[in-house]
Amino acid sequence: MSSKFFAVIVGAGPGTGRATALRFAKAYPVVLLARRPESYQDTVAEINKAGGKAIGISTDATDQKSVDSAFETIKKELPGHKLAAAVFNAAAGFARKSFLELTVEDLNTSLTGNAQGFFIFAQKTLPLLLESVPDSPHPPTLLITGATASVRGSALFSTMAAGKFALRALGQSLAREFGPRGVHVAHAIIDGVIDIPRTSAYVVNNGAEDGKINADSIAESYWNLHTQHRSGFTQEIDLRPYVEKF
């Protein structure tokens, strides 16, 4: 696999971010962006120790300057590298509350974390992905992590749904604008609880084995999306445990 391409993941904490970094690191140097070093440093160390190449950069994905600065750092750290895959996996805080108890700030946390964060990331990465079209080992790819709330506005999830619906809308528009130019934009609806330390105490699907989503299985599906031939791009997939109600 060419050493001249790299992948970047924003929202590189435990779970999907970490697993995606590990998966893509088999093929590319990977850059992990997260607000706090604690989120990415173990993963970075693990990849580098295993003979791969990983860089972590503390970045606020909702802040234009912070993202600009991260990409300046990338240019220095990975000189001459072109972008093969960009993964937007940033999480926004979420208040599960009755609508009348929410504040405009709760709404804006979701809109900013999902829509604005992705907007900034997409504007930064799409020009780089377009440059990679002629010689990328696989069609340059922009992947978006969505959720159940991307397609369903449930009671008590209003602000989360607002942000996730907006994120999905952006992904659709970009797929239609940049697909014909050779960039693959895909959106994944993660419909279930991911099996990470933070969720270890959650009992879901009656405690069934594999009733939470294994983050590695998400990462494998992301890799499969990235490696699709341009004559058969997927725009949207759902991913859920076999026992999940839907």
Residue 52 touching a copy of itself (CB under 8 A): no
In the list 49, 65, 79, 155, the residue contacting a copy of itself (rule: CB under 8 A) is 155
Residue 135 touching a copy of itself (CB under 8 A): no
Q: Which residue, 81 or 184, is less far from a copy of itself as judged by CB?
A: 184
184 has which bridge partners?
A: 141
d(CA 245, CA 147): 14
**Which range in 7-15, 68-76, 79-87, 209-217 contacts a copy of itself by CB under 8 A?**
209-217
Residue 214 touching a copy of itself (CB under 8 A): yes
Question: What minimum distance in Å lies between the beta carbon of 80 and a copy of itself?
Answer: 23
What is the three-class DSSP state of 87? Answer: strand
Q: What is the H or E stretch that residue 59 is in?
A: none
Q: Are 218 and 25 in contact (CB under 8 A)?
A: no
d(CA 85, CA 125): 9
What is the three-class DSSP state of 82? Answer: strand
In the list 73, 77, 152, 204, the residue contacting a copy of itself (rule: CB under 8 A) is 152
Q: Which residue, 37 or 127, is less far from a copy of itself as judged by CB?
A: 127
d(CA 74, CA 201): 37
Question: What minimum distance in Å lies between the beta carbon of 82 and a copy of itself?
Answer: 18
Q: Which residue, 44 or 213, is less far from a copy of itself as judged by CB?
A: 213
DSSP-derived secondary structure for 167-223: HHHHHHHHHHHHGGGT-EEEEEEE-S-B-SGGGTT---GGG-TT-SB-HHHHHHHHH
Question: What minimum distance in Å lies between the beta carbon of 188 and a copy of itself?
Answer: 9
Name which of residues 61 to 80 contact a copy of itself (CB under 8 A): 64
Name which of residues 91 to 120 contact a copy of itself (CB under 8 A): 98-100, 102, 104, 107-108, 111, 115-116, 119-120
Residue 123 touching a copy of itself (CB under 8 A): yes
Name which of residues 8 to 47 contact a copy of itself (CB under 8 A): none
Could you count the other beta carbons within 10 Å of the beta carbon of residue 179? 16
Residue 59 touching a copy of itself (CB under 8 A): no
How many residues are there in the chain? 246
In the list 46, 66, 73, 179, the residue contacting a copy of itself (rule: CB under 8 A) is 179
d(CA 45, CA 185): 29
CA distances from 238 to 206, 227, 231 (A): 21, 18, 21
**Which range in 27-35, 38-46, 48-56, 210-218 contacts a copy of itself by CB under 8 A?**
210-218
Residue 122 touching a copy of itself (CB under 8 A): yes
Q: Are 118 and 91 in contact (CB under 8 A)?
A: no
In the list 68, 93, 135, 246, the residue contacting a copy of itself (rule: CB under 8 A) is 246
Residue 163 touching a copy of itself (CB under 8 A): yes
